[in-house]
Chains A and B, each alone.
Chain A
Amino acid sequence: MIKKFVLLSFTFGSSLMFLLQLFSLQIYNQNYNELSLNNALEKRPIYPTRGLIYDRNGILLVANQPVYDLMIIPENSIAFDTLELVSFLELSKKKVISRLSDARRFSSKKPSVISRQISKEKQAIFQEKIWKYPGFYFQKKTIRDYSIPIASNILGYTSEINPSEIKTKNDYVLGEMIGRQGIEKTYESILKGKKGFQFFQKDRFNRIIGSYEEGAHDSRPEAAKNITLTIDAQLQTYGASLMQNKRGGIVAIEPSSGEVLALVTAPSYNPNLLVGSTRSENFNNLVNDTIAKPLFDRGLQAEYPPGSPFKTLNALIALQEKVITPETIFSCNKGHYYAKGAFMKCHCQIGSRNNLLKGIYNSCNSYFAKTYVKIIDKDSTASVGLDRWKNHLEHFGLGNYLGYDLPIGKKGFIPSSSYYDRWYKEGGWGPSTVISNAIGQGEILATPIQMANFTAAIANRGYYIKPHFKKPNDKIIGDSLFSKNHTLIESRHFDTVIEGMHQVVEKGTARVAKIQGIEVCGKTGTAENFIRLNGEKTQLTDHSIFLAFAPKEDPKIAIAVFVENGYWGARWAAPIASLMIEKYLNGEVKRTWLENKMLNGSLISEYVKPFSGEQFDINE
């Protein structure tokens, strides 16, 4: 009798239906699990304080300070005194209202920022009134605090992550700080640490009613690590002061380790500008200064023709390629004709006969032009010779990124045979076409750090260690950052060149760089440069260049100094380099007359010339 089973089948059918629904809710549909976590639990991040940054001597450069973001969860807020809020925030009423409605549009349950980075003092005042503003709360945050306002170009800065970046970096949440530029960017993962989480049980009014499972799921933040830089804060500060009212860069490297002792760019900016509530305004001002370009790191990003100091490299290549010996003599008559009707000027006396040593310390253009022709002409075609020459230079770290641990840089440029084949037709060029390369002009470009680096390679008699800015915690053997990069030049060839560089300071072009008790080796440079002014190629005053290392034996510092439009090398760059060396090696500077001249010297009048709209003279 079927009727006996009606109730049973209904019961059985309903149970089956319930089990199916339970299966769908509890097992199949994982969505409900997340929903629960969303509305019953609050996951609050605990941030470790960002790692500190020290200089090589343990001087604290970058610390942290607390600021507060005013947050809102729109769902929890009720009507409040908008005018009081407006006056506290010191923003326009319109702006506050639009931020409030933006927050509501973003999410009614999730927190949004109403005002960022309110100072500790200001926050304390409003904290007393915050009970009148349900839904609002302060979120503590730490921002950077620069006790010594230097080296902003090395340190970089931090700022809040922006919404588009979050898509690719999924361990960040909106409002968190991320390193931008410099050390802050390169070592973001070290400095950031790992945030922890605390879980809270909420009730249906979104109120926190206690910790979730007594903190069983909470994770502690992992403390960030501190970083010790290779930078010498004193030297860096000194370099910055020497460069005031000038444009250019200084790069100082410890040759034996590749550690960068100072990286100065001028003009620069105070790192405290890029911190706190006025950050974005200040940042825009810096970006918009397209003439002085304070955000442009001239030590790393500026590509200059290296000028005369480049002769040292050509000398080394020529010795290695056995096209000259130290005893090779070339004559010079205030220059020479390197091709028919093409004359290269030189400041040598008429009838000068220079060997290599003299060629270097007198910086004889003719000597190196003739040497260069021999390098290029060594083989059957100029292409082979030029490319061999280029290969040598690449082993000095030129023409490509050096691979140091800062996120910006430039390759510089060393021309290859195919480059000239493109300009002239194949075989349509010879040594005389590319003769400017002999004296570091022409197509060659190098950044100051590349030049400091090859100076270090000369100081080391044949190798360099990749420049870097962070002191290693433990030296890992075989780590590419610390291995020797050997040049293709045998170390015996360096003696003559180094002696030549020493003579440059002793009795050559850079006698101003001589320091009592220290054997300084250097090479001056004066590089022609041009800009496009109203569509016309206009020559400006030459760049003043100086490369040096000291002491001659067991060098402790290698340095490259560039002063834009400073005219000849001994005028600005050599004294600055010399003062830096003295400061670093002796700890104090005795030549106060020279120091004062450099500190007070200004090239502002030089820099306004192209923008004055009037005719101007150069190289005065």
Chain B
Amino acid sequence: MSVQTARPGDPSGLLRPGFAEPTLDAQRCFRILLDAMAHPGRIAELPVAIEPPPGLMAASAALCLTLLDAETPFWLDPAAAGAEAAAWLRFHCGCPLAADSRQAAFALVAGTAPDLTRFAEGDDLAPEASATLIWQVERLEESGPLVLTGPGIERKRALGLAPLAEGFLEAWAANGALFPCGLDLVLVCGGRLAALPRTTRIARRETDGED
């Protein structure tokens, strides 16, 4: 009986608000992401209260609002989020949702090991055209079996993340070998995030000490 867009149950009819202060919140989140990218593996907290749509974690939602606009095709892992998240992204970010993951400038993935080969890695003329992945994980901490080295890390840094599939370290090494091309990764867990730019090398600690 009511007008179409207001039909109860229609995903677009149950939209949630975005940032409370769109400009300031986006600037704050961008600054934090920038710092996280400069310090790979360091965990940062996004200081914004946000009610994410189903399937998105708070920090992923905040990153989407910060990074996406009409010029950034976004690929949403169907395993991670459904129609309501897609409607939310379209409404608040105005971003095109790419059907083909290779077209995406940003992508949201979930699960044990994202398939890094299905995204654009850029080319030698435009390595910046590679995709940035937002990977939602269930556990993220600054201690654990992974050892990070590379630019932005003085000696080495420990990282724990779960779930983590075996093949991921090899896939990440292959991604690093593409330099200057390659994907950048942002790990997200709840409201926290840590960045793994393409230059960061990940190894598993030799002696399985703590964890």
Are these two chains actual partners, yes or no?
no
Q: Which residues of B contact A (CB under 8 A)?
A: none
Q: Residues of A with Cβ closer than 8 Å to B?
A: none
